[in-house]
Amino acid sequence: MKALLALEDGRIFSCRSFTGPGEVGGEVVFNTSMTGYQEILTDPSYRGQMVTMTYPLIGNYGVSREDVESSRIQASALIVREYQDDYSNWRADMSLADYLKAANVVGIDELDTRALTLHLRTHGAKRGIISTDVANPEALVEKAKALPSMEGCDLASGVSTDKPYRLVNDTPVFIQEELAEGLFTARGEKKAVVAFDFGIKFNIIRLLEAAGCEVIVVPANTTAETVKAMNPDGIFLSNGPGDPEPVTYAVETVKALIGYRPIFGICLGHQIMSLALGGKTYKLKFGHRGGNQPVQNTETSKVEITSQNHGFAADMDSLSAADVEVSHVNLNDRTVEGLRHKVHPVLSVQYHPEASPGPNDAQYLFDEFVSMMERFTV
CB 155 within 8 A of CB 240: yes
Q: Which candidate in 27, 304, 337, 354 is catalytic?
A: 354
Exposure on the CB side of residue 147, measured as CA atoms within 13 A = 25
Q: What is the pLDDT of residue 321?
A: 86
How far apart are alpha carbons 270 and 239 in whole angstroms?
Answer: 8
- Is residue 374 among the annotated active site residues? no
Question: How far from each other are the two terminal CA atoms of the chain, in whole angstroms?
Answer: 62
The three state secondary structure string of the chain is: CEEEEEECCCCEEEEEECCCCCEEEEEEEEECCCCCHHHHHCCHHHCCEEEEECCCEECCCCECHHHCCCCCCCCCEEECCEECCCCCCCCCCECHHHHHHHCCCEEEECCCHHHHHHHHHHHCCEEEEEECCCCCHHHHHHHHHHCCCCCCCCCHHHHCCCCCEEEECCEEEECCCCCCHHHCCCECCEEEEEEEECCCCHHHHHHHHHCCEEEEEEECCCCHHHHHHHCCCEEEECCCCCCCCCCHHHHHHHHHHECCECEEEECHHHHHHHHHCCCEEEEEEEEEEEEEEEEEECCCCCEEEEEEEEEEEEEHHHCCCCCEEEEEEECCCCCEEEEEECCCCEEEECCECCCCCCCCCCCHHHHHHHHHHHHCCC
Consecutive sets of 10 residues in the chain, 378 residues long: mean pLDDT of each?
A: 98 98 98 97 98 98 96 97 97 97 98 98 98 94 97 96 94 93 94 98 97 98 98 98 98 98 98 97 97 96 97 94 95 97 97 95 97 92
Q: Which candidate in 310, 328, 341, 352 is catalytic?
A: 352
- The answer to the question of whether 20 is labelled as a binding residue is no
Q: Which candidate in 15, 267, 337, 344 is catalytic?
A: 267
- The answer to the question of whether 96 is labelled as a binding residue is no
State the amino acid at position 180 in one-letter form: A
How far apart are alpha carbons 106 and 324 in whole angstroms?
Answer: 43
Tell me how many degrees the CA angle 157-219-376 measures, rounded to the nearest 5.
125
- The answer to the question of whether 271 is labelled as a binding residue is yes
Q: What is the dihedral of CA 137, 141, 144, 145, to 10 degrees?
A: -160
- The answer to the question of whether 312 is labelled as a binding residue is yes
The class of domain 156-375 in CATH terms is alpha beta
Q: What is the pLDDT of residue 282?
A: 97
- Is residue 267 among the annotated active site residues? yes
Q: At the topology level of CATH, where does 2-146 sit?
A: Glucose Oxidase; domain 1 (3.50.30)
- The answer to the question of whether 242 is labelled as a binding residue is yes
Sign of the dihedral through C-alpha 243, 68, 115, 8: negative
- Is residue 352 among the annotated active site residues? yes
- The answer to the question of whether 202 is labelled as a binding residue is no
How far apart are alpha carbons 15 and 281 in whole angstroms?
Answer: 35
Q: Could you tell me whether strands 213-219 and 191-197 are parallel, antiparallel, or unpaired per DSSP bridges? A: parallel
Domain ranges of the chain: 2-146, 156-375
